Structure 1
Amino acid sequence: MSAGGDDERRRAELVTALGAVRARIAAACADAGRDPSSVTLVAVSKTRPASDIATLARIGVTDVGESKDQEARAKIAELAGPPYPPVELRWHLVGRLQTNKARSVVSYAHAVHSVDRRKLIRALADAAVAESRPTPLDVFVQVSLDGDPDRGGVPAAGVAELADAVAERPQLRLRGVMAVPPLGADPDSAFARLADVSHALRAAHPKADAISAGMSEDLEAAVRHGSTHVRVGSALLGRRSPVVG
C-alpha cells in the first residue's frame, strides 16, 4: 500500500477511535448529569508518532499530553515543518517533571499536570520569568492517593501548602488537582477521594476547580466524580511500539 493509503487508513482508525472515546465521555456525562463540553479530552501521545498528532488535530483534537519533555520537544520540532500544516496545539505535560526541564517546558506547554513539590513550583515560575512567557502556565497539583513515592504526587494533607505556593506566583495559574489511581485500586473509590481533595482546595482557591483524572480504562469513573480533563492514550491511539527514545 502507498504512503498515502497508509495515511488514509490511519486517519480512518483515529476517526473511529475518537468517535468511540467521545461516545464514552458523552454517556458518562449523561449518567452524571453533566455537559460533555465540561470535559477536555487530552490525547496522550507518548511513544506515538508526530503524524498521529497532526491527524488528530485535523479531526478536532488539539489538547496533546506527553510524559517526557524530550519527546514533546522532538514532536513539536517535527510538526513545525513540512509536510505538516501549521496548527495550534495545547501541550500538556502529564508525567513526572525534573526541575532542570522547567525552562524547556515553559517555552511550549499550556499546562503541567504533575506538580508535587515546592522546588518544582519555584523552577517553573522562575523559568517563566526567564523565558518572558506572556501568559501564566496552568498547573495541577498531583495528589498521591497511595503514598507511593515512585509514582509522584503529594499526600492529600500537603495539597493546601503546595496550592498556596502556586497561587503566590503570578507566572503560574492554579487549575486544580490531578491523580492516578493506586495500582489495583477501585477507580470509583480513588476518584471519590480526589473529588474530596478538590472540594477542600476550592474552599481556599475557588477558581481551582479543575480535576485531571481518568484514562482509557477508567474515564467513566473519573467523569462520575467530576473530572474535567481525561488523559486518554491507548483507547484513542492504540497500543504501539515506542518511536521516541
Structure 2
Amino acid sequence: MRSNEIALGLANAKERITSAAISVKRDPSEIALIVVTKTFPKSDVEILYELGIRDFGENRDQEGSLKADEFHLDAKWHFQGQIQSNKIKSILSWADVIHSLADLDHAKRINDRVFLAADKSNVSKIPILIQVSLDSDLVRSEGRNGIDPKEIEKFAESIMQFEGLELKGLMAVAPISEIPESAFARLAGIFSDFQRIYPDAKWLSAGMSGDFESAIHHGATHVRLGSSILGNRSYL
C-alpha cells in the first residue's frame, strides 16, 4: 500500500536526521523537516498529513495552489521555486513561507501585494528567506538563482526596508559540481557572518534528499526532502 511505503520512507528519513544531528552533538528537535511534494499527487500529501507532517514544499505555483486548496488549515506551505513576477499574487494566496527570494524587484512586488491584501491596521508579514548562491561566478552569470555571498548584506539591508516581509534566514542548494560537505561548510561560514548582523534570522534552509546529512552537519535548521520519503519522481 502507498501509505505503508510513505510511512517507511518517512521513518527512515527521520532516523537519518536524528543520527546526523547526534553525530555533531546537535539536538534533532532543532531541525525542521519540510517534505517536498512537487510532482506527487495530493493523495500523498494527505497520507503525509495523517502521519504527522505539517510542512510541505512546492516549486511551482500552479501545483502548489491546487494542493493547498481546501487542505488542512494547520498545514504550512513552503514555496521554494524560482519566483516569476506574474505569479506573485497567486503564490501569496497559498504559500506561508517563501524560501527563494533573490531579486529586489520581486521583494518590492511581494511587499506591495502583502499590503494590498491586508487590513491596513493589521499587516501579516510573509516570512522569507534569501536564496544564496553557492555556485561559481561563471555558473551564476548563466542565470542560476541566488545572491552572490558578497552581496548578501547589502541585499538584506534592502529587504529590511519592506515592512511586509519578515526575514527568517538563508536558503541554499549545493552545486552539482561540488562535494556537499565542502559546499555546506562554506554556507556555514556565510550564515555565521550573516547572523552577526541579523541575529533574529535563525533559519538555514539547506539539504535535500541526496545531501541533507551534510547540511545538518553544517548547521541546517530546515531540510527539504522529497524522493527519500516519497520515492522517485515521474516528470510529465
Q: Same fold (TM over 0.5)?
A: yes
| Pairwise CA distance, 1:15 | 0.7
**1:242: how far off?**
3.6
Read off the aligned partner of 2:87 and give its amino acid letter: K
CA offsets, 1:136-181, max 9 Å, x none?
1111111111143433001101111121122222211111111111
State the TM-score, normalized to the length of structure 2.
0.93
1:121, 1:165 within 8 Å by CA — same for their partners in 2?
no
Residue 42 of structure 1 is matched in structure 2 by: 34
Spell out the pairing of 1:1-245 with structure 2 (5 A cutoff).
9-77=1-69, 80=70, 86-132=72-118, 134-146=123-135, 147=137, 148-149=139-140, 150-242=143-235
Q: Contact 2:68/2:77 (CA < 8 Å) preserved in 1?
A: no
Q: What is the alpha-carbon distance in structure 1 between the residues aligned to residue 94 and residue 118 of structure 2?
A: 12
Q: Which moved more, 1:175-184 or 1:147-156?
A: 147-156
Unaligned 5+ residue runs, structure 2?
Answer: none
Question: Which residue identity is paired with 2:14?
Answer: R
Question: In structure 2, what residue type is equivalent to 1:90?
Answer: K
CA drift at 1:100: 1.8
Question: Do the aligned residues in 2 keep the contact of 1:107 with 1:131 (CA within 8 Å)?
Answer: no
CA-based RMSD? 1.4
User: In the TM superposition, what is the alpha-carbon distance from 1:214 to its structure 2 partner?
Assistant: 0.3
Alignment partner, residue 6 of structure 1: none
What is the rounded CA distance, in whole Å, between the counterparts of 1:194 and 1:39 in structure 2? 17
Moved more, 45-54 or 145-154: 145-154
* Alignment-derived partner of residue 3 in structure 1: none
Give the C-alpha shift of residue 74 in structure 1: 1.5
Residues in 1 aligned to 2:235 and 2:73: alpha-carbon distance in whole angstroms: 24
Once residues 132 and 233 of structure 2 are traced to their aligned partners in structure 1, the CA distance between those partners, rounded to angstroms, is: 29
Identity over aligned pairs, percent: 36
Alignment partners' CA distance in 2, 1:167 and 1:52: 37
| Structure 1 position 135, deviation (Å) | 2.3
1:48–1:242: 8 Å Cα contact kept in structure 2? Answer: no
Q: CA deviation at 1:107?
A: 2.0
Q: How far off is 1:182 after superposition?
A: 1.0
Q: Count residues with an aligned counterpart.
A: 229
Q: Which moved further from structure 2: 111-120 or 124-133?
A: 124-133
CA displacement at 1:188 relative to structure 2: 0.8
- What SS does structure 2 have at the residue aligned with 1:230? strand
What is the SS of the residue equivalent to 2:96? strand
CA distance in 2, matches of 1:117, 1:169: 13
SS at match of 2:4: helix
Counterparts of 2:106 and 2:73, CA distance in 1: 29
